[in-house]
Chain A
Amino acid sequence: MIRSLLRQGEMAVLLAVALVILPLLLLLPPWLPMLVLCMLALRAVLLRRQAVLPSLYLLLPLLLLAIGGLWLSLNTLVGREGGAALLILLLGFKSFESRQQRDWQVLLALGFFLAAMPLLFDQSPLAAVWLAISLLALTWAMLILSGEMVEGSLRSAMQALSLSLPLMLVLFVVMPRLPGPLWSMPHDQHVAGTGLSDSMEPGSISQLVQQQEPAFSVVFAERVPAVSEMYWRIMIFDDFDGRRWQNVRGLSSETVRWQGGRLVSYSLTGKPSKARLPLLEYTVTAPAGGVLEPGNLFKLARDGDELFRFQAESLLAGHYRTVLSRADQDFYRHLPPGNPASRQLALQWRAQGGDGAGFIRTALQYFRLGGFAYTLQPPLLNSEDGIDQFMFSSRQGFCEHYASALAFMARAAGMPARIVTGYQGGQFNPVGQFWQVRSSDAHAWVEIWLAESGEWLRVDPTAAVAPDRVAQGVSQSIPAMQPQLPVLGRSMPGWLLRVQQNWQAAGFAWQQWVVGYDAGKQLNLYRWLGLGDQVDSGTVLRAVLIGGSLACLPLLLLWRRRPSVPPLQQGRHRLVQALAAMGIVVVDSDGPLDILNKARRLPEPDYRQLKALLKEYAAMRYRQPAAPQQARQWLRRVKAFRPGRQ
């Protein structure tokens, strides 16, 4: 069939570059990639019609206009988003001044650079898959642009990419790591982070619960605790202003005496929020990379939003004994005025229960039997006496309501109490053999200090109201509310659950071995390979040399093989390309004489040269089938033929 060979390579470049830009639709304000895609499409139309390109005097104001729009929508031209946006905009305009082969090559090079752009936003396996697709498309376009035949070009591109794969792996393994990930970019202001907030007021956790993003993942070494024992501590709130719980004090130090419990060791991977990562109750020694704060909380030495992984050991069901000074006790008993009915009830409980333990028993009994309901959509508590309203009239709430109420009651009864927030439970992924904890597992509970034993005792009132919440997770505990939970929060059919688990497992492995391949892992590998005890330039050079030469082995195999397209056909194609560059369109149904006939308007020396080449070609194909050697020599002469160059 007639196929215009003219402009094939340019079309391929436009197509590949458009493919590269596609994922940015999700990562940048969508109008911008859309605009650039439209520009590329327009350029393709102009190319097809061989129309005149718009002049610089039109392009320049347009570019300024577009940059202005970009500034209005992002407020910046630098940083991750601003930079990416500006680059693709420039790419779109560059296509409109691409005329020569060299311009198109520049466009292609820009495409290779842009292909890595989505990695700055997302380092998931999906992003990697898209990167591979982009690279394939770009390599293919490069082949077509350099005059390769379309038939089999995709295969050649795949071959080229798979040949470079070993080298890529070697470089990935041996290149020295920076202290953080390469793309530890400044966080963009308008991107909201997820996680627990600094303070707790009604509704702050229930919003979190309706989200399904993974918060962190955990691998237990040997013993796995029961789900109801998994309390992940992140924050402590010790001050109540009548509506909101906050962390005011931040104890500078505490002396803790741990007692009893079973030792469980685990490793946790997660993105820190405000330099905090969860700890399993109660973690005795500070994991590497951070410090153990009073209240058994983990604070990282360095702030940042990249993934962090640590190993720790915790005492499950241990006793958290510490001495509180009188001032401290007063602090943990402090309450603002108001809520008289609740205060009275608290004193009543205290009198009934006798000691602290008795008080807690009575309180939990009250929550269990007092007609309380567990719901994500509680009525609004807006009066001055919110706790009274909750305890005596609405009686509907979520963990934060119960925790808040119980802490208030304990303080009202004269017992030091505080609220702990974090996560509770998790979901086991049997494929990847790890536990996934999600935003929906966010939780709040109470710690009450018992003067008798000098111990912070964990009390979870939510467990009393909705035991399933603690034993099985949110979705099991609120059947009535299920339609309001997003689809993933409901109990899933088995197959969907398996798909989800497989996907999570893949993501976990990816995080562990690819994104999480850091200097430490690298050093371990070096030791294991016997390359030395430290990653210095010498070892790197040695490794690159050894690995690089190993990676080049497949190239040797390829060199030994004959090219798949016979030299005569290759040469004809090259001639056709060379003529196309001169504006002479040759089609597949043209024989050598037809080609010569079409090329009559070539300058005289070029025409003579072409005539000789074509005469040889005709003779080798239609007179005396040529020896391979002869055909290759001819191909070499064809490659030297460059019409229009004086």
Chain B
Amino acid sequence: MQSLSLAYRQLNTLILGKPRAIRLALACLIARGHLLIEDLPGVGKTTLAHGLAAVLGLHYQRVQFTSDLLPADILGVNIYQRETASFRFHQGPVFSQLLLADEINRASPKVQSALLEAMEERQVSIDGESHPLPTPFFVIATQNPSEQLGTFPLPESQLDRFLMRISLGYPPPEAERALLLGQDRRTLLADIGATLTAADLLMLQNKAAALTVTPDLADYVLALLQATRQERSYLTGLSPRAGLALLAAARAWALLEGRDHVLPEDVKAVFPHVAGHRLGLSGDALGSLNKLLDHVAIP
């Protein structure tokens, strides 16, 4: 737990003024979920992904998605070996512990679905042969919502693969001042050492999954799910899978808060980020989810 809070502190020195986003990102990884960061260019999406990889001591690869990207560019390809007269599998960038998929909505749907399938199955099948992905395996995808020209927006069913969607937004003025006056982020990144091992992370993940959820709390989650299903302004309500995701995220959040049980407040903290993209709401429309939280009584 100490190393976890150290990692948290280190990330906060890297991304200034965004403790909540960092906490959510950590919770997402602890809940074994993939993270979608939706924001403008230059607010620190990539830096956050780098930083996470660095503090968690994970093997990290980055792919810049473009419209001419092919699935093989990500997954890997079988290449004929003249020496052995056989095919050998060359792993693509997806074979890493943390994959940063930059501007995921620029790639063609074919590439998107290849990646998302890998995210779900945690393995890659090529020419009838399965290649398991390393553990832990995370995808942090970013997308820019304001540039729509030449993009392929992710369909709702695929958005569902991401446990959380967060956005960073502009930093508060003091933080931005410190950023302007401070060191270059790249130098800082180089200085950040791993405070956690992959084994530690797996242990934390197991611990989070084991946190207590009482029937009373499950009732609250149910009430929230029901409320999204009854709210007219949403096209569809949250699915049962979304309910499980919500609970997993709440557990991770509770672990970060240093508790061994989940409180309604934990559910409330993660709810807008777990539910927003699943309900097809844009990143700016989370107000309606906060209102929903205010209206649903805790049973």
Contacts and interface: CB of A to CB of B under 8 A. Distances in A.
B202 interface: no
Contacts of A592: 263-265
A625 B295 CA distance: 25
B122 interface: no
Contact of A622 (B212, B293, B296): B212
B133 to A, nearest CB: 35
B262 A622 contact: yes
Give the residue among B216, B295, B298 with the most A Cβ atoms within 10 A: B298
B261 A1 contact: no
Contacts of A590: 298
B292 to A, nearest CB: 9
A634 to B, nearest CB: 15
B214 interface: yes
B213 to A, nearest CB: 8
Interface residues of A, number: 17
Contacts of A1: 295, 297
Interface string B243-283: 00000000000000000111111001000000000000000
Nearest to A591: B264
A312 interface: no
Given A591-B265, A591-B268, A593-B265, A621 B214 contact: yes
A1 B212 CA distance: 28
A589 B293 CA distance: 7
Nearest to B296: A589
A618 B215 contact: no
Given A591-B268, A593-B263, A622 B214 contact: yes
Contacts of A587: 294
Contacts of B260: 623
B118 interface: no
B217 interface: yes
A624 B259 CA distance: 13
B298 A622 contact: no
Nearest to B295: A1
Contacts of B217: 621-622
A377 to B, nearest CB: 68
A188 interface: no
Interface string B91-107: 00000000000000000
A585 to B, nearest CB: 12
A618 B294 contact: no
A589 B298 contact: yes
A607 to B, nearest CB: 18
Interface string A589-622: 1111110000000000000000000000011011
A622 B298 CA distance: 12
B294 A622 contact: no
A591 B263 contact: yes
Contacts, number: 48
Interface string A566-598: 000000000000000000000111111110000
Interface in B87-134: none
A591 B261 contact: no
Contact of A623 (B261, B264, B297): B261
Interface string B127-157: 0000000000000000000000000000000
Contacts of A591: 263-265, 268, 298
Give the residue among B260, B265, B296, B297 with the most A Cβ atoms within 10 A: B265
Contacts of B216: 621-622, 625
B295 A2 contact: yes
B253 to A, nearest CB: 12
A591 B253 CA distance: 15
Nearest to A594: B265
A380 to B, nearest CB: 75
Given A623-B212, A625-B214, A625-B215, A588 B297 contact: yes
Contacts of B294: 2, 587, 589
B298 A623 contact: no
B295 A622 contact: no
A618 B298 CA distance: 12
Interface string A236-256: 000000000000000000000
Contacts of B295: 1-2, 589
A541 B76 CA distance: 100
A620 to B, nearest CB: 9
B38 to A, nearest CB: 27
Interface string B149-177: 00000000000000000000000000000
A312 to B, nearest CB: 70
Give the residue among A593, A594, A622 with the most B Cβ atoms within 10 A: A622
Given A594-B265, A618-B263, A622-B263, A589 B214 contact: no
Interface string A620-646: 011111000000000000000000000
Contacts of A618: 261, 263
B268 to A, nearest CB: 7
Contact of B264 (A2, A619, A622, A625): A622
Nearest to B261: A623
A611 to B, nearest CB: 14
B94 to A, nearest CB: 39
Contacts of B262: 622
Interface in B204-244: 212, 214-217
A593 B261 CA distance: 13
Nearest to B298: A591
Contacts of A588: 297-298
A175 B268 CA distance: 61
A1 B295 CA distance: 5
A594 B215 CA distance: 20
A2 B291 CA distance: 10
Give the residue among A1, A591, A624 with the most B Cβ atoms within 10 A: A591
Contacts of A593: 263, 265
A591 B212 CA distance: 17
A623 B261 CA distance: 5
A622 B297 contact: no
Nearest to A593: B265
Contacts of A625: 214-216
Nearest to B267: A591
A603 B296 CA distance: 30
B221 to A, nearest CB: 12
Given A1-B297, A2-B295, A623 B265 contact: no
B212 to A, nearest CB: 6
Contacts of A594: 265
B207 to A, nearest CB: 16
A587 to B, nearest CB: 7
A474 to B, nearest CB: 65
A523 B293 CA distance: 67
A621 B261 CA distance: 10
A337 to B, nearest CB: 94
Give the residue among A1, A587, A623 with the most B Cβ atoms within 10 A: A623
B26 to A, nearest CB: 20
A594 B261 CA distance: 16
A593 B267 CA distance: 12
A588 B223 CA distance: 13
Nearest to A592: B263
Nearest to B214: A622
B290 to A, nearest CB: 10
A625 B217 CA distance: 11
Interface of B: 212, 214-217, 260-265, 268, 293-298
Given A589-B296, A592-B263, 16 more contacts: A1-B295, A1-B297, A2-B294, A587-B294, A589-B293, A589-B294, A589-B298, A593-B265, A594-B265, A618-B263, A621-B216, A622-B216, A622-B261, A625-B214, A625-B215, A625-B216
Interface of A: 1-2, 587-594, 618-619, 621-625
22 contacts: A1-B295, A2-B294, A588-B297, A588-B298, A589-B293, A589-B294, A589-B295, A591-B263, A591-B265, A591-B298, A593-B263, A594-B265, A619-B261, A621-B214, A621-B216, A622-B217, A622-B261, A622-B264, A624-B212, A625-B214, A625-B215, A625-B216
Complex A-B, nearest 5 residue pairs according to Cβ-Cβ distance, in ascending order: A588-B297, A591-B264, A623-B261, A593-B265, A591-B265
